[in-house]
Structure 1
Amino acid sequence: MTAEIIAFPKQECGDRLVSSIARLEALSIDVERVGADDPGASLDQLLAAMERMSDQLVDLASLLLDEDTKLQAQSAFRSLSGRIAETRETFDLIGRRRDI
C-alpha cells in the first residue's frame, strides 16, 4: 500500500477574506439599522461606523491587492480618518458655541 500526499489549499487567506467580508457586511447592516431606526442618529455614531468600515476595507485591501496598491489604499484611508476627526472637531465646536 502506498501513501498519497494530499495537498490541501491554504485556508488562512480564504478564511480571513470571508471573515473580513462578514465583518464589513455586519457594519453596513448596523449603519442601515441606525438610519432606519433613528434617522436623527448622532453624527458621532455614523462617523464611528465610517471609521470601522474603513478599517475593514484596509483589511480587505491587504488580502486582495498588490503591495503598491495596498499602500495607496492605506494612505487614502488614513486621510479619511483625518477628515473624520476634523469633522468631529468641527461639530464639537459648533455644539459648544450653541451652549454659550
Structure 2
Amino acid sequence: MAAEIIAFPEPDRGDRLVSSIARLEAVLRDVERVGADDPGASLDQLLAAMEHMSDQLVDLACLLLDEDAKLQAQSAFRSLSDKIAETRDTFDQLGGRSYT
C-alpha cells in the first residue's frame, strides 16, 4: 500500500486579514452594546474593550505594515497597554468607585 502525502494549504494572508477584521468588528459591537445597554458602564468593561481592540489592531498591523511600521505599532500599543494598567491601578486605589 502506497502512502499518500497530504498537502495542507498554507494559511492565506487574506484569510488571516478577514479573520482579524471580523474579530475587531466583534469588539466594536461589544463596545457599542455596552454603550447602548449602560451608558454609565464600568470603567473596567471599557478598559477591557480597549485592550481587546488594541490586540486586534496589532494583529492587523502585523498583516499590513512593513517591519519598521510594525515595530512602531507594537510599541504604541505596548504603551497603551501600560496606560490601561495604570488606569486600572488608580481606579482600584480609589476603591473602584464609578464616577459616571
Question: Hey, which bits of structure 1, 4+ residues long, moved more than 2 A?
Answer: none
**2:5 aligned partner:** none
**2:80 aligned partner:** 80
**2:6 aligned partner:** none
- Which amino acid is the alignment partner of residue 87 of structure 1? T
> Which sections of structure 2, spanning at least 5 residues, go unmatched?
1-9
Same amino acid, percent of matched pairs:
82
**The structure with more radius of gyration:** 1
Deviation string, structure 1 residues 52-100 (Cα, Å, up to 9, x no partner): 0000000000000000000000000000000000000001111169xxx
> Which sections of structure 1, spanning at least 5 residues, go unmatched?
1-9
Tell me by how many angstroms 1:11 deviates.
6.0
**Quick one: structure 1 residues 96 and 35, their matched pair in 2 at CA, closer, same or farther if it must change by over 3 Å?**
closer
- Which amino acid is the alignment partner of residue 14 of structure 1? G
TM-score of the pair, normalised by structure 2: 0.84
Q: Which has the higher helix share?
A: 1
The count of corresponding residues between Structure 1 and Structure 2 is 88
TM-score of the pair, normalised by structure 1: 0.84
- Cα RMSD (Å): 1.5
